Amino acid sequence: MTALQERNSGLIQRKNIPTQNGNDSIYKTEKIYNDYIHDDDSKETRFTIMEEILLLGLKDKEGYTSFWNDCISSSLRGCILIELTLRGRIKLAEAGMRRKSLLTRKVNVLSDVPTGDALLDEALRHIRDTTPPEGVQNWIEFLSGETWNPLKLRYQLRNVRERLAKNLAEKGVLSTEKQNFVVFDMTTHPLVDPQAKLKLVSRVRNALLADWTPTGSSPISALLNADTANSPPPGGRGEAALKYTRSLATIVLAHFADVLDNALTGVADDDEYELATRRLKTLLDTDPEAVVASIRSPSYSANAPTDKDTTEIVSLAQVALNGYVMVWALVAAFNK
């Protein structure tokens, strides 16, 4: 598997090119994910969820996160778990006959094919090499180094914020400078592409305002089971579900990273701000176990398009479903 970087008009897109022995199914899932979660404009800079959370937390001129923010570290590890899930690499184990809770279900590896992202691949290797498998809450602690078990400290991902900031600098969104803080020097990353951050902030706001979907209506089931036989493109159900899941993950993890308010403080209308915060509270007060228990698996009619298209629909829908379950497992872990 070879990782390539394509640079076009400020865009850096990492792709996994499978060798003859590569996993074609995972490669297709990766391509679908990259194609569907972003806007149609292929020249727009693409971010991982980790990069989006860091970008929301960075001070534009100073180029660093708040010294008082002690939440962003563990939230970024949660971002890594959901990103790996949406790329088809891992999933949460099934509840089984005993109806295991989200926090007792283990994280299983579906494929160890590299993603091309150094942080994701490092985390994926740790998850793959751990026997027996661990749960979501343990992996957040292991990857952030906040575990009391000295044997698990080797799983800690180091310099995560700095590595993500360098990725954003490569994409032309941040710059790299040295600042003197009297007793020490620190590398900072001031914002140089405010338009990219404005688009991200706008997308986050819209997720809580114009594009809001009430959690109580089991949106993932509605999206996956909607009748889209006459709606191009084929696979529309999976595409909509994947976009919704990713948007939900960004909102939830931005909140737990204590950076979501950075996107909402610019809302001019006080009523809209109150509406967004009220919807966020409703979302976080929802019982994750009840949400996951209400999911209905996607159904596919006999008049689905072609076999090839149907395979793509099922693959995309399953990835979205796995991601949705992982999001609520993260909510349960951070709320504990």
* pLDDT score for 19: 40
Q: For 75-91, what is the mean pLDDT?
A: 95
Under 8 Å CB-to-CB from 246, ≥6 apart: which residues? Answer: 37, 49, 86, 323
Quickly state the pLDDT bin for 46 (edges 50, 70, 90): confident
Rounded to whole angstroms, what are the CA distances from 323 to 82, 146, 220, 258? 6, 24, 10, 22
Reply yes or no on whether the pLDDT at 258 is more than 80. yes
* pLDDT score for 297: 65
**Superfamily for domain range 25-38+48-335:** yeast vps74-n-term truncation variant domain like (1.10.3630.10)
Q: For 270-285, what is the mean pLDDT?
A: 91
Average of per-residue pLDDT values in the chain: 81
pTM of the predicted structure, to 2 decimals? 0.85
**Highest mean pLDDT of the ranges 23-37, 229-243, 277-291:** 277-291
Reply yes or no on whether the pLDDT at 147 is more than 50. yes
Reply yes or no on whether the pLDDT at 310 is more than 70. no
- Dmax (CA) for the chain in angstroms is 70
Task: Report d(CA 108, CA 93) in Å as an integer.
Answer: 6
Reply yes or no on whether the pLDDT at 274 is more than 70. yes
Greater confidence, 56 or 69? 56
Reply yes or no on whether the pLDDT at 3 is more than 70. no
What is the per-residue burial (b if ≥16 Cβ within 10 Å, else e) of 171-207? bbbbebeeeeeeeeeeebbbbebeebbeebbeebbeb
Quickly state the pLDDT bin for 183 (edges 50, 70, 90): confident
